[in-house]
């Protein structure tokens, strides 16, 4: 451990007073294991099943307050591993109660467990005790549990990242379909997310469809959809020529048309969701001081 990290750990340990109740919580889906300790490491209570429900949370509050009164405690320092998502409810609940909630790294728990009795076997209450021990030793991460506008922003950003993954997958799926039926489109349109290619795929998605349309009409279709209308004539000519020489699958049936249609719809749907999420992010950012200056920076 570096000297800087050691000093930080000592400072964290010094924050814990004799009046601080230390709680370690091992998170589970249906229930959590909870262990209570004082500054010296004396076990003040062990509860292997605190259910992830209103009744369970009320029980947790009742026991915590009882132990505080019994031992003359004033503050609560609670720590947990933020793995999965089941920690959020009890963490925010504890924060609302005025408890100090901190995180502990999974690697720290595993290493401490092995040091305790040379076994890496996991039990819920044992891990709760380990978490409490690590906390009183100052081996927790200084944590800010976001609330209000910050939690809203974090939530929307996570949603956007998930949607972007769906969008990338949808575009790859559409590109794979076009590689089967009309591979030459890659050289004419730079991406499957452009408005120009969407317009073409809606009107004439296959080479045989393109050949049934005049170059002037193709130019009109691309021009109306695209921002760069000056290139529409060029693209229309290239598209018509590519359709004549296409090496794509020739025998096109209803299932092929359905495939392209569904792929295109999914790309458009996910593109719209990404834009919607980004709009919400900008709206939230405008509610935060100074972000208007950050948003004004190009790029």
Give residue-wise pLDDT tens across range 157-213.
999 999 999 999 999 999 999 999 999 999 999 999 999 999 999 999 999 999 999
120 and 195 fall within a common domain: no
Sheet holding 75-80, edge to edge: 43-51, 31-37, 20-26, 75-80, 100-103
Q: Which of 197, 165, 161 is nearest to 182 (CA)?
A: 197
Question: Do residue 238 and residue 259 come from a single domain?
Answer: yes
Cα–Cα distance between 164 and 159 in angstroms, integer?
Answer: 9
112 close to 130: Cβ distance less than 8 angstroms: yes
Question: Is 188 found in the same domain as 133?
Answer: no
**Residue-level pLDDT at 200:** 97
Tokens of 52: 């992830």
Nearest to 173 by CA among 264, 268, 251: 264
CATH code of the domain covering residue 72: 3.30.420.40
80 shares a domain with 59: yes
172 phi/psi in degrees, rounded to 5: -65, -40
pLDDT at 6: 74
Q: Are 156 and 289 found together in one domain?
A: yes
- For the chain, which residues score pLDDT lower than 50? 118
Q: What CATH number corresponds to the domain at position 284? A: 1.10.287.4070
The structure tokens listed for 20 are: 């601080």
* Residue 123 lies in domain: 3-145
Domain identity same for 172 and 251? yes
For the chain, the distance separating the N- and C-terminal CA atoms, rounded to the nearest angstrom, is: 39
Shared domain check, 76 and 110? yes
Q: Tell which of 122, 145, 168 closes a domain.
A: 145
171 is written with which tokens? 């575009």
Q: Provide the H-helix boundaries in 38-86.
A: 54-71
Dihedral sign computed on CA atoms, order 143, 149, 153, 159:
positive
Residue 116 and residue 161 share a domain:
no
CA dist 138 → 78, 81, 130, 273 (Å): 12, 15, 13, 43
Query: What is the token pair recorded at 54?
Result: 């209103």
Within 13 Å and on the Cβ side, how many CA atoms surround 129?
Answer: 15
Are 164 and 116 found together in one domain?
no
> What's the confidence (pLDDT) of residue 277?
96
Overall pTM > 0.85:
no
Same domain for 88 and 165, yes or no, is no
Distance CA 287, CA 271 (A): 25
Statement to judge: residues 122 and 170 lie in one domain: no
By the 10 Å C-beta count (0-12 exposed, 13-18 middle, 19+ buried), 49 is classed as: middle
Q: Among 123, 145, 167, where does a domain finish?
A: 145
Q: Domain end: 93, 125, 145, which one? A: 145
Q: How many domains does the chain have?
A: 2
Number of helical (H) and strand (E) elements in the chain, helices listed first: 13, 5
Given a contact cutoff of 8 angstroms between Cβ atoms, the answer to whether 19 and 40 are in contact is no
Q: Are 200 and 222 in contact (CB under 8 A)?
A: yes
In this structure, the answer to whether residues 91 and 182 fall within a common structural domain is no
């Amino acid at each position: 451990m570096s000297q800087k990290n050691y000093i930080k750990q000592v400072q964290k340990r010094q924050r814990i007073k004799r009046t601080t109740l230390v709680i370690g919580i091992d998170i589970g889906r249906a229930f959590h294991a909870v262990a209570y300790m004082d500054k010296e490491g004396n076990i003040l209570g062990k509860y292997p099943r605190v259910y992830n429900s209103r009744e369970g949370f009320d029980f947790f509050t009742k026991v915590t307050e009882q132990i505080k009164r019994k031992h003359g405690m004033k503050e609560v320092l609670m720590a947990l591993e933020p793995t999965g998502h089941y920690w959020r409810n009890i963490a925010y609940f504890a924060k609302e109660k005025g408890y100090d909630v901190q995180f502990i790294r999974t690697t720290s728990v595993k290493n401490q467990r092995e040091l305790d009795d040379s076994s890496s076997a996991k039990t819920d209450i044992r891990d709760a005790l380990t978490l409490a021990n690590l906390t009183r030793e100052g081996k927790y991460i200084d944590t800010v549990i976001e609330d209000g506008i910050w939690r809203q922003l974090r939530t929307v950003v996570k949603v956007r990242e998930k949607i972007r993954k769906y969008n990338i997958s949808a575009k790859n799926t559409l590109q794979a379909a076009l590689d089967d039926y009309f591979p030459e489109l890659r050289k004419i349109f730079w991406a499957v997310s452009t408005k120009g290619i969407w317009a073409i795929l809606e009107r004439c998605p296959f080479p045989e469809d393109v050949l049934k349309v005049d170059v002037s009409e193709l130019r009109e279709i691309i021009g109306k959809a695209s921002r760069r209308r000056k290139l529409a004539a060029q693209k229309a000519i290239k598209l018509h020529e590519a359709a004549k020489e296409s090496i794509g699958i020739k025998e096109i049936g209803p299932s092929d048309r359905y495939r392209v249609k569904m792929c295109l719809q999914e790309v458009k749907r996910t593109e719209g969701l990404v834009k919607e999420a980004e709009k919400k992010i900008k709206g939230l950012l405008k509610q935060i001081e100074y972000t208007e200056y950050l948003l004004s920076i190009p790029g």
